[in-house]
């Protein structure tokens, strides 16, 4: 039987954000996202906690995560390695150690399970992917914009839709609202300090993007990277057999059959004859 997968709440699309480096400007980014009901994933480097950094004459230091990790309540925390190296220059064991130290430290500090990652400088190799798999990391964000709304074939190579400072950002937003694609996903990424140092992209840019998305909240689910991974992994497991939809996953799944909207509960079968 033909059916269309939807996001939670019967939403046809999802939007998510991703910000790197645990910079003090994350305070404003988180505030803006929360004020518009949006969600994002923040990729943190515990080994750089409290490290001072000046960019373009502006303080862009790393947050003291041991004191401010609660800033990210309501958002997802992911790993960005311990000290932000060029991974492709390191042997396998050192790459794995970079992630392992960060994952273990963030887990101990926050009490959260770390599902995802982002690649420092957007670079990686086969050893990187191997290390993440062995550490139980489910997805990894790159820095290559696709200008598309498709989910990745391999979530460890999750290419985002667009950077927040890309001149095509508002064109892409319009395309996103018009697209008719199953489980369409808008993925915006960047660094919070860019809003402070780039005159062409102040925090008012994020406010505008967030306001535009909020206006579409009836159709768009606002989720973290990890929530999208977890839900979509579950949704693609649903199938129809012997007069009903079977959901072998651990998540409730939303779908549409013609004009009928259905919720297939986790681990259950929903009888449905059409």
pLDDT at 114: 98
| Phi, psi for 57 (deg, rounded to 5) | 75, 10
| Phi, psi for 55 (deg, rounded to 5) | -125, 125
Beta-carbon-side half-sphere exposure of residue 142 (alpha carbons within 13 Å): 16
The model's pLDDT over 44-82, given as tens digits with 9 standing for 90+, comes to 999 999 999 999 999 999 999 999 999 999 999 999 999
pLDDT at 1: 80
pLDDT at 274: 75
Terminus-to-terminus CA distance in the chain, angstroms? 9
As a whole number of angstroms, the distance between CA 41 and CA 58 comes to 24
pLDDT at 273: 84
Q: Are 42 and 76 in contact (CB under 8 A)?
A: yes
pLDDT at 178: 97
Regions of the chain short of the pLDDT cut 50: none
The model's pLDDT over 96-121, given as tens digits with 9 standing for 90+, comes to 999 999 999 999 999 999 999 999 99
Burial 38-67 (b: 16+ CB within 10 A, else e): bbbbbbbbbbbbeeeeeeeeeebbbbebee
Q: At what angle do helices 169-178 and 203-214 cross, to 10 degrees?
A: 10
As a whole number of angstroms, the distance between CA 267 and CA 251 comes to 8
How long a stretch of residues is the chain? 274
pLDDT at 145: 97
As a whole number of angstroms, the distance between CA 139 and CA 91 comes to 21
Burial 221-259 (b: 16+ CB within 10 A, else e): bbbbbbbbbbbbbbbeebebeeebbbbebebbbbbeeee
């Amino acid at each position: 039987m033909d059916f269309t997968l939807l996001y939670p709440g019967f939403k046809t699309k999802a939007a998510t954000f991703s910000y790197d480096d645990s910079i003090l400007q994350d305070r404003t980014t988180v505030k803006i996202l929360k004020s518009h009901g949006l969600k994002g994933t923040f990729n943190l480097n515990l080994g750089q906690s409290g490290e001072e950094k000046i960019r373009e004459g502006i303080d862009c230091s790393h947050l003291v995560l041991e004191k401010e990790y609660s800033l990210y309540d309501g958002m997802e925390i992911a790993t960005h390695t311990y000290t932000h190296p060029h991974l492709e220059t390191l042997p396998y064991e050192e790459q794995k150690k970079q992630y392992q130290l960060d994952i273990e430290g963030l887990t101990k500090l926050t009490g959260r399970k770390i599902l995802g990652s982002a690649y420092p400088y957007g670079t990686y190799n086969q050893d990187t992917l191997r290390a993440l798999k062995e550490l139980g990391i489910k997805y990894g964000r790159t820095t290559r914009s696709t200008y598309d709304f498709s989910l990745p074939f391999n979530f460890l190579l999750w290419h985002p839709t667009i950077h927040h400072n890309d001149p095509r950002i508002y064109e892409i937003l319009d395309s996103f609202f018009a697209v008719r694609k199953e489980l369409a996903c808008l993925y915006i990424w960047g660094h919070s300090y860019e809003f402070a140092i780039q005159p062409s992209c102040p925090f008012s840019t994020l406010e505008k993007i967030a306001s535009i998305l909020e206006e579409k909240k009836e159709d768009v689910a606002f989720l973290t990277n990890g929530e999208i991974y977890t839900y979509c992994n579950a949704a693609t497991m649903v199938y129809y057999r012997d007069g009903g939809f079977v959901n072998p996953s651990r998540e409730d799944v939303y779908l549409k059959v013609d004009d009928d909207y259905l919720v297939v509960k986790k681990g259950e079968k929903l009888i449905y004859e059409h």
